[in-house]
């Protein structure tokens, strides 16, 4: 596993330093994880996200059985790294996190069959894909004002190589708000699994290295407020932390 961090005037690749909370930079320096700025852990291309891809979450939002994955796209401006801050507008009434397994493409994928799909995966990370429900409109759902806000998509902390993840179809996901667990699920409950999604997407769009698929979130999304610390965990991928801030911090 490796991270991308800014430290001492440059961007570095960093790896965990066993037995400490520190990071080892590629140039040999050992630094505290709170002394660096964590960036999304890979150069991101197209960001592809799934809506309602866990049976329980679909039920939670009163959604009927699906014919086809509900896919939407996001732009680069929404991405931030571990320990970043996400703004909650003063007028929002329901803003929630979404802990998701992010699948990072490592090889060009066009018309890839299910059986060959996993060969195109470079690795994984955790995504926290915020939504503000108040802004949902019934046009091209989910509209970008809900799902593509600045700082609304947190990726990290680590890029974890696919070889380091034995079974991506059996990973527990957990979210904690201020230390209290509010969301729990397992990637075995994905409605459309990773090979299906790669086959489906690559049938009409060529996927390239750095493209990332956010595979959806399970049941248990709750409202979050300025000052809240949200931690998303996935087995083997680490713990992705971020905090919510009010308009004032952003000069609004």
Partner 1 sequence: MCTIPFEVAPFGLSGAVYGALLNHRSALAELGSKVAEPPYNAAPRAPVLYVKPRNTLALSGDAVAIPAGMTELEIGACLGLVIGRPACNVSITEALDRIAGYLIVNDVSVPHESFYRPSIRYKARDGFCPLGPAVVARSAIADPDALAIRTYVDGALVQVSSTAELLRSTARLLADVTEFMTLAPGDVLAVGVARPCPRVRAGQSVDIVVDGLGTLSNRFVAAAE
| Residues making contact with partner 1 (CB under 8 A) | 45-46, 48, 68, 70-78, 110, 135, 137-141, 143-145, 148-150, 204-208, 252
As a whole number of Å, the end-to-end CA separation of the chain is: 38
Residues 199/113, Cβ–Cβ less than 8 Å? yes
Compare residues 100 and 233 and give the one whose CB is closer to partner 1: 100
Cβ 204 to partner 1 shortest distance, Å: 4
Cβ 209 to partner 1 shortest distance, Å: 12
Compare residues 132 and 231 and give the one whose CB is closer to partner 1: 132
Q: Give one DSSP letter per residue of 44-101, joined into a string.
A: ---EEEEES-BHHHHHHTT-PPPSS-EEEEE-GGGEE-TT-EEE--TT-S-EE--EEE
Compare residues 29 and 110 and give the one whose CB is closer to partner 1: 110
Cβ 230 to partner 1 shortest distance, Å: 20
Instruction: Please state, in angstroms and rounded to a whole number, the distance separating the CA atoms of residues 159 and 96.
Output: 24
Q: Give one DSSP letter per residue of 38-49, joined into a string.
A: EE-SS----EEE
Cβ 42 to partner 1 shortest distance, Å: 15
14, β-bridge pairs: 3, 25
Compare residues 26 and 73 and give the one whose CB is closer to partner 1: 73
Compare residues 9 and 204 and give the one whose CB is closer to partner 1: 204
Cβ 138 to partner 1 shortest distance, Å: 5
Compare residues 182 and 217 and give the one whose CB is closer to partner 1: 217
Cβ 67 to partner 1 shortest distance, Å: 10
């Amino acid at each position: 596993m490796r991270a991308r961090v800014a430290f001492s005037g440059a961007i570095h690749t960093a790896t965990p330093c066993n037995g400490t909370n520190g990071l080892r930079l590629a140039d040999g320096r050992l630094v505290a994880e709170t002394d660096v700025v964590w960036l999304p852990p890979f150069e991101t291309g197209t960001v592809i996200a799934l809506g309602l891809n866990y049976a329980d979450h679909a039920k939670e939002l009163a959604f009927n059985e699906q014919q086809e994955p509900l896919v939407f796209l996001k732009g680069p401006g929404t991405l931030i790294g571990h320990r970043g801050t996400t703004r909650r507008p003063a007028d929002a009434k329901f803003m929630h996190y979404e802990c998701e397994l992010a699948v990072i493409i490592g090889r060009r994928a066009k018309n890839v069959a299910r059986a060959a799909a996993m060969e195109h995966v470079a690795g994984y990370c955790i995504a926290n894909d915020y939504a503000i429900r108040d802004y949902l409109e019934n046009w091209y759902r989910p509209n970008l004002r809900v799902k593509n806000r600045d700082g609304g998509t947190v990726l990290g902390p680590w890029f974890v190589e696919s070889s380091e993840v034995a079974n991506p179809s059996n990973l527990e996901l957990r979210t904690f708000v201020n230390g209290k667990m509010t969301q729990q699920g397992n990637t075995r409950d994905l409605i459309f699994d990773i090979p299906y999604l790669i086959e489906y997407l690559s049938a009409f769009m060529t996927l390239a290295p750095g493209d990332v698929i956010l595979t959806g979130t399970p049941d248990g999304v709750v409202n979050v407020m300025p000052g809240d610390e949200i931690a998303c965990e996935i087995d083997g991928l680490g713990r992705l932390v971020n905090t919510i801030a009010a308009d004032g911090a952003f000069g609004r």
